Copies of this chain bind each other. A is one copy, B any other.
Amino acid sequence: MKENQNFPSEFELIDRLFKPLAVANIGSANLRDDCCTMPLKKGYEALYSMDTLVEGIHFFKEDPADLIAKKLLRVNLSDLAASGGKVRGYLLALSLPHHVSLAWLENFVGGLREDQTKFGVSLLGGDTTSTQGPITLSMTAIGEVPVNQAVRRSGAKPGDDIFVTGCIGDAALALKLFEDLGKEETLQNYPDLYRKYVLPDPPTTFGSMLPNVATACIDISDGFRADLGHICSASNVGAKVELEKIPLSICGNQLIRTKKSYWESVFNGGDDYELLFTANKDKRSLIKGFGCQFNTLLTRVGSIEHNEGVFIIDKVGNEVPAKFGGWQHF
């Protein structure tokens, strides 16, 4: 970035743009030191998630920088939530090509600033470098969880309920509509789906309650079926899901009524960043209580079984196949 005229030096950049994101965090030492620090409350351990977004792979060059920043933070917060953690801070490594403008960076920082307020978190440290390649953004999110109570994928037991937060499939449906209708028409006619794709809203506060109730959890990033499969294989169990119970948004519901093949996107698409978790039946009322308390939509969609495999069953009891080619039973 040194060749970019009027572009501030790395130190000026940090002082002007990033220090304001870090001042609330005493351990950041105002981003002026080699390291940052973070104490933990007694009885807690640290929880880490690290995710990278690369221009051309995870976002488009023309995507608004503030939304890219928010997505970067949110996919990491989603991982902490799925482990039952509460976010404490984050580190940010930016690799920026020379063509990145100060306006882009200001917009990026603006996105972080807004989400810092929304999620109650602040910047702790990081690194900035130049690159001859695409914009590459790595984040390490740091959370806390009671010692030995992080919720893993591997704890699901036969007989457990399966719950999901929010609605499933909206982000994947938006992507599918991009293909079918083009981006313009999708944006115009399905703004809610587009928003869900571009800016996930993981239920972070609800997530931090999971150690009290969940036996296993994952955030839905690869897709409902695949992520439920991850829980099942890590836990050596299977799952039976009732198709009718899968929570769809109004828009998602309308879409699958017009074209049943859209179910494919709902099950096999990804980017929901909702939580998929399992819990003992005894916890139902407690879970309902947390859902009310944190204003989080919760739906019980099925149960964990002894037999391996993920089975989605329609209202007449037939199995919905993993690939939709021959499925006509709905």
Chain A 36-63 interface mask (CB, 8 Å, partner B; 1/0): 1111101001111111111011100000
Q: How far is the CB of A187 from chain B (nearest CB, A)?
A: 25
Nearest B-chain residue to A89, judged by Cβ:
B48
A48 touches B124 (CB 8 A): yes
Nearest B-chain residue to A28, judged by Cβ:
B48
Which residues of chain B come closer than 8 Å to A93, judged between CB atoms?
50-52, 93, 138
Say whether A203 faces chain B, with CB atoms less than 8 Å apart: no
- 26 pairs across A/B with beta carbons < 8 Å? A33-B153, A34-B79, A34-B80, A34-B83, A34-B219, A35-B47, A36-B48, A37-B45, A40-B40, A48-B91, A48-B124, A49-B125, A50-B126, A50-B140, A52-B95, A52-B127, A52-B129, A53-B129, A54-B133, A57-B131, A93-B93, A132-B134, A133-B133, A133-B134, A133-B136, A140-B140
Say whether A218 faces chain B, with CB atoms less than 8 Å apart: yes
Which residues of chain B come closer than 8 Å to A53, judged between CB atoms?
129
Q: How many copies of this chain sit in the oligomeric assembly?
A: 2
- Interface core residue of A51, A53, A83, A138 (most chain B CB under 10 Å): A138
